[in-house]
Amino acid sequence: MSRLPIRLEFGSDRGKSGLHLINLTILFELRPSQYQEEIGTMCIGVMPKSWLNNNPSLSFIGNGALLIWGDVDRREVDEDALNDWWTNEHLPERLSIPGFLRARRYCCNDGNGTILTKYLTLYEVSNLSVLTSGPYMKKLDNPTKGTRQHIPTLATMQRSACDIVHSEVRRDLAESCLTGLGATIAMVVLMLPPDGGQTATTLRDILSRRFVTIQETNKSAMALSLLQEDPSATQPGSQSQSYDGAAFQRTPHNDDLVKWIILLEFSTTRSTENLGTVTSLVDYISSILPQPSRTELNVYGFLCSASG
């Protein structure tokens, strides 16, 4: 096995709520094309049970999230420059905005001769109003040189501002007052008809029950979350100057459907086992909900995480 450069970060901080965090982060400094099957990482924060009991969103900081994902054609894009900009310039810029709490980056490259690398960025915010706030919209309408240069290089892009409908970590982490970020994250996108809120209740119940089984069959499963897109929070940012030239992917005939996103985090990079777990979950959902439309399923590897 080849040696890999590793950086360890250790520190502690006490937030406004009195929460005392101890963070140990293992960062593998890899290019996406060098992502290895055997690599895993987990970031853990220690939290008192009194805080966890009052915060049902255990694997998220805050009650809202912004997800941006898309493909890069490696034949046409300098990925080193793209990643340097996104991690070292763009993430700190976004985390300087009030209400932006944490950012995570992931990538997916199956290594089977594909010319595309898939990227996922997940911003955790205190609530959805942050994503239409004055400070954020001012940044979006005054993009940096790097933003103007790199956003159009994505061959496809999708962007969703979401409410966190349900989120939980595996039992042993919760009982130990721990939460974490997995080495891999699976994302499933479902487009479903609106039904006055019943789908949220149904999906929440399905996922909560199924997560018990998932923990028994896949010991690396760490957290499961359900997000619902809010178009009124998504559209203002997507129409801003920061996304001039962005190749937003359009799904025809879905204007009347609601976008639901399921995130399942794993502590290992065993892609075959993790993909099987996610596929089984989606099949189970499809057997209960009336004609769900699965528009996307990807498993991404962890790149980095930063907190504001």
- Reply yes or no on whether the pLDDT at 15 is more than 50: no
Residue 43's DSSP bridge partners are 181
Average pLDDT over residues 84-101: 96
Three-class SS state of 199: helix
- What's residue 249's pLDDT? 80
- Reply yes or no on whether the pLDDT at 56 is more than 50: no
- Structure token digits, residue 198: 């019943």
- What's residue 83's pLDDT? 94
Q: pLDDT digit string (tens) for 187-229? A: 999 988 887 778 899 999 999 999 999 999 998 999 999 999 9
Task: Locate the domains of the chain by residue range.
Answer: 6-307
Handedness of CA 234, 236, 237, 242 (dihedral sign): positive
Handedness of CA 281, 284, 290, 293 (dihedral sign): positive
Number of other CB atoms surrounding residue 247 within 10 Å: 16
Query: Considering the entire predicted model, what is its pTM?
Result: 0.82
State the CATH class of domain 6-307: alpha beta
- What's residue 9's pLDDT? 36
- Reply yes or no on whether the pLDDT at 111 is more than 60: no
Segment among 33-47, 88-102, 132-146, 219-233 with least mean pLDDT: 33-47
Q: What are phi and psi of 221, to 5 degrees?
A: -65, 125
Instruction: Collect all residues with Cβ–Cβ distance below 8 Å to 130 and sequence separation of at least 6.
Output: 64, 97, 98, 99, 100, 136
The secondary structure of residue 63, as a DSSP letter, is S
Three-class SS state of 184: strand
Residue located via tokens 């937030």: 15
Do residues 179 and 58 make contact, with C-beta atoms less than 8 angstroms apart?
yes
Q: Report the alpha-carbon distance of residue 154 to residue 120 in Å, rounded.
A: 12
Average pLDDT over residues 261-282: 89
Segment among 109-113, 153-157, 163-167, 278-282 with least mean pLDDT: 109-113
pLDDT interval class at 259 (50, 70, 90) = very high
- What's residue 269's pLDDT? 80
- What's residue 74's pLDDT? 87
- Reply yes or no on whether the pLDDT at 233 is more than 50: yes
| Residues of the chain above pLDDT 70, percent | 73
Residue located via tokens 């777990």: 277
Q: pLDDT digit string (tens) for 153-163? A: 999 999 999 99
Identify which has the larger pLDDT, 47 or 183: 183
